[in-house]
A and B are shown apart, each in its own frame.
Chain A
Amino acid sequence: MISTRCAACKYLRKRCDTDCIFSPYFPSNDPLKFACVHKIFGASNVGKMLKQLPVHHRAEAANSLCFEAQSRIQDPVYGCTGIISLLQQQIYNAQKQLAIARAEIALNAHQAHLQGGSQFQQIEASSSFNNVAAEPLHVDQSFFDPPWLF
């Protein structure tokens, strides 16, 4: 007889009921997925979290919990906050680079204007980069900024 238990019930060695909260999201062919979330969050907490959610959100929640759990297993100190930190740093660097580029464009545009080239005016008109010279510099670090990570 082929077992129809989900990965969670197999792992926990219990009977998999028809209304098992885990079975739609932790199929038996992916045992690692449940093993990860159980290791970090615990089956009981995962079950509670899923039960508190509308059914149509549970799959996404299970996947995001799995992602967080795998992140934490690979990086026990920072987990997925390490990814957040990396992204924040990259965004900060990109914003600085963009500010530098805008300043150079503004400088070039000004120099071209002084030289009175109509060709430059065409370039400015055709650009899809809105308000390159006029937009103020804004280096934004307001995205979930845990101060202890920098």
Chain B
Amino acid sequence: MKGHESRSTSSCAACKLLKRRCSSNCIFAPYFRSDEPSKFARVHKVFGASNVSKILTEVPVEWREDAVNSLAYEAEARLRDPVYGCIGAIALLQRKMDELQHDLAIARAHLARYTAIPPLLCNDHFSLTTLPDFPIFDGTKSVLNSMEFQQHGSVNVVHQTSFPL
């Protein structure tokens, strides 16, 4: 007896969650496999299937997998931290970078002291490492209250304030 079971054995995770037929040209199917249901669930919860579909449609095919993975990453971050999402991670990294720049500046000053020693006391040839600056973002260290974007050609320059955690 033929029942009402749908032939959904090849449905992707998105179509399973959305309870619809997974067509052969489903935009989600290559990136949301049926054995990873939580990946689409997270993305759908934060962005919505419709928005994800629009984003993927605007992205060239060869970049869609990366786009999906970055959306999944952002969605997971937002679910873990509903207030700051990914911005919390950026703040953490920015703080780490500030500490490293501080330490590098101290190290540079420390090394510079050796070159100030008269040659009588230091016979060896010092190979000073040139320590480049590591500017990341412009902006002052203040509470998150405003963000601006400027785009220069194909390079995105982000001007932002530091984010508290």
Contacts and interface: CB of A to CB of B under 8 A. Distances in A.
A78 B66 contact: yes
Contacts of A17: none
B108 A72 contact: no
Nearest to A79: B70
A40 B122 contact: no
Contacts, number: 188
Interface residues of B, number: 66
Given A129-B107, A143-B93, A143-B96, A84 B128 contact: no
Contacts of A105: 107, 110-111, 114
Given A90-B97, A104-B129, A97 B104 contact: yes
Interface stretch (A8-16, A18-26, A53-61): A53-61
Interface of B: 45-48, 50-51, 55, 58-59, 63, 66-67, 69-71, 73-74, 77-78, 82-87, 89-90, 92-94, 96-97, 100-101, 103-104, 106-108, 110-111, 113-114, 117, 121-124, 126-129, 131-132, 134, 136, 144-147, 149, 151, 156, 158, 160, 163
Interface of A: 39-42, 44-45, 49, 52-53, 57, 60-61, 63-68, 70-72, 74-84, 86-88, 90-91, 93-95, 97-98, 100-102, 104-105, 108, 111-112, 115, 117, 119-120, 123, 127-129, 132, 143-144, 146, 148-149
24 contacts: A42-B47, A44-B48, A49-B78, A63-B145, A64-B83, A64-B86, A67-B87, A67-B147, A67-B160, A71-B149, A71-B156, A77-B67, A78-B66, A80-B86, A84-B93, A91-B100, A98-B103, A101-B107, A104-B126, A115-B122, A117-B117, A120-B114, A127-B106, A144-B89
